[in-house]
Amino acid sequence: MATMGRIKSVISLLFLLGVALQGCIVQGGGGLTRGSFPEGFVFGTASSAYQHEGAVKADGRGQTIWDKFAHTFGKIIDFSNADVAVDQYHRYEEDVQLMADMGMDAYRFSIAWSRILPNGTGQVNQAGIDHYNKFIDALLAKGIQPYVTLYHWDLPQALEDSYTGWLNKQIVNDYAVYAEICFKAFGDRVKHWITFNEPHTVAVQGYDSGLQAPGRCSVLLHLYCRSGNSGTEPYIVAHNMILAHATVSDIYRKKYKAAQNGQLGIAFDVMWFEPMTNTTIDIEAAKRAQEFQLGCLQERKTDWRPGKFGTSATLLHYTANSIWLYIVPSGMRSLMNYVKQRYNSPPVYITENGMDDGNSPFTSIKDALKDSKRIQYHNDYLTDLAASIKEDGCDVRGYFAWSLLDNWEWTAGYTSRFGLYFVDYKDNLKRYPKNSVQWFKNLLSSS
């Protein structure tokens, strides 16, 4: 059997930048400045509704598949849930000010479908519309552009109960109705839309391994998952998500794009594969792996291609706290060039990139704020990204750091800290700037 190409970097098009310095004093940008990137290049931070908002029963919000999954015993490593998360639903004005203080251009966040349509379909919840209107207006008042994800994994539970959600083609129509409600309500101010966050992850983790909501699989003869078919369901889900994306893209282009002057794309998580050796059989294996992981979900006519950039490797590189997140900055440049060549140089936004530290009870807040590794991470990835733009001609237009705040990290719960700002879960969720915040300020104010 052919040797599988080893993974060099798990690359979805992701986060921001940083530079590691000795000690805790953060100085310049290590050679990087705003001038290292084209005029108009967008810097931002990123989040998702379920990981940040909390307030799961406020103002008519309906239950989601992640609410149910997180409250199922044994699914979350620290037995936590996101009922409160970091309470951005109530604290958005404070968080918008944090972004403004850093000099960020944009904020990527997701709309919770179940706040707009608590049952997934039917009556619109005006309180949900009102909340996101206020949130969007607060961002714009500080000069921060909203980049809005319509679906970041939090399917209304009512649709899962009614017809098994993404396994049924009815979901395409219901998603389109929801999306159009959002275009009508917010499209006069939102100029950048993302239809889906990481459909590959949803299909594999939710319907193959069963490690994420809705937790379907057929491993171990259903001893782990109560229902599902790992051999077929991931492909059905991926297919329906592609159909939903295409349907909504068509609606936006025909009915809203001209009047609202916006863009619409989809965010992919992407691995970068390299061959184990220089033999033909390994080179071809790596190519097949790349095509299967990214190519099977690509839609060639998308306006722009945002995505998430993380890293994973079997090479000799160091890791973040998460065992899947290897730090291999060169993978950024390799992937940008692959996308340029394979897909005829589409415009790309890195909608997530970042690394996490652990949440140790033995680490003081003072020490947790000294995140030199995160600074080094962002500096190195942005250095390679800048090279891919200036030297290789890749059309990359923005970079969003994951995440603004430490938050509820899905099945890892609160054990993982990705934020530029430290959140004190023991003291009213107070936000404290890590050293990477000052590094960003310096970078974004440079010329």
Half-sphere exposure of 199 (CA within 13 A, CB side): 28
Structure tokens at 112: 């919770």
DSSP-assigned states of every residue in 52-97: HT--TTGGGPPPBHHHHHHTSTTSSTTS---SSTT-HHHHHHHHHH
Pick the closest to residue 202 from 151, 149, 150, 264 (CA basis).
Answer: 151
Which H or E element spans position 327?
A: none
CA distance 425 to 80: 12
Catalytic option among 53, 160, 198, 274 = 198
Question: Is 299 labeled as catalytic in the residue annotation?
Answer: no
Structure tokens at 245: 């994306």
Amino acid occupying residue 347: P
Catalytic option among 53, 160, 233, 352 = 352
Count of C-beta atoms within a 10 Å radius of residue 69? 20
Q: Are 296 and 204 in contact (CB under 8 A)?
A: no
CA distance 262 to 138: 19
CA distance 287 to 274: 8
DSSP state of 317: -
Q: Are 441 and 102 in contact (CB under 8 A)?
A: yes
Question: Is 352 labeled as catalytic in the residue annotation?
Answer: yes
Cα–Cα distances (Å) from 29 to 33, 239, 385, 445, in that order, read: 6, 43, 15, 10
SS3 166: helix
Helix 170-186 vs helix 126-141: crossing angle, to nearest 10: 50
Q: Is the dihedral of CA 50, 199, 139, 260 positive or negative?
A: negative
Q: Are 189 and 183 in contact (CB under 8 A)?
A: no
Catalytic positions, please? Answer: 198, 352
